[in-house]
A and B are shown apart, each in its own frame.
Chain A
Amino acid sequence: MTNKDIKIESLITDLKSKDRWVYNMFVMVFVIFILALTATSIVFAIEEQYDIYNTSTFLVYLLGIAAMGYFGFQIASEYKDVDYGIPTVLMLEGAVRRYQLLHPKSGALLASILFLNLSQVIGCLKFRNDPDFIQRIINSQIPLFVGGIIGFAIGITIWATKQKPLKDRAQKLLNELMSY
């Protein structure tokens, strides 16, 4: 088996195409992030009442968008940041970190959902004197609660079936490498 068996030119074409795809994904995440920020700012700017509720809703919503943007960049970076040219111990440590359940990227997603939800709750506070205030809060929480449970179940299943075995294997190899 030689390099000639592997068509280098065709491989390079595929790899460049993959690089372009990753670059486009970064651009797309960035554009979505900017659009979401702009849309939120416009909605806030045309709001007639700049009271404490609207301002807090806007600021917390911005935090939610920022956390979502961070999550998007974390996902997009996963391919770009891969480096096989580091020592094996560091590569395995990186794999264990990357595939653990409580990863910064899942933290960012959770923070984003919480901030977006909190902004909704703050938005409802201006109706606190209405008789249906509690019902309004509950109604705003039901979709999040149901979506959260479904999302959590899907997330845990994907992690347990795809990422946990990789984490366990990397940890096992690391333990073996570090035992003298």
Chain B
Amino acid sequence: MRLHSIFLVALLASTCNPSALQIQARLANSVAVAGNRILPLLLDVYRAEGLQIIEQARAGGLSRSDAEARLQAHVLTWRAVWGECDEGTGACQGGAWPSLRAAHDAWAASLERQIAGEPLDLAAVTRHASELRNAYCQLRASVPQAHRASVPQLPGVACP
């Protein structure tokens, strides 16, 4: 972890400043706002590339099974981001996005409990915040190189 990170400063401040809980809550809220703006960009790239693969396969005279095989390779490229998706229920597990969601939810829930009056559990908040940062950086690393700029370095959540 980089000590000059605003993210860490906010964390360390919570040891001696009661309003620092609010700083973390604002940071957590802003991470969600930014993440929810990034998600449609990633989904759109994923969708459009899949359609392009199908159209190019057809234009190139490939069979449907060949087109499906190429599409499956595209799905595999993005599996690290979305995880394994169940065809029936549609639920996806194990990818960087579901992990980021889970890490953010744990952090946000912990902060909300403490805002509501639960005693400060610095170890838990620090652990959740660290997991969130790792999950965000994992998402950046999982997105194919050509589209990694869609997941920007966020101020205070700098990835190596």
The answer to whether A and B assemble together is: no
**Interface residue ranges, B against A (CB under 8 Å):** none
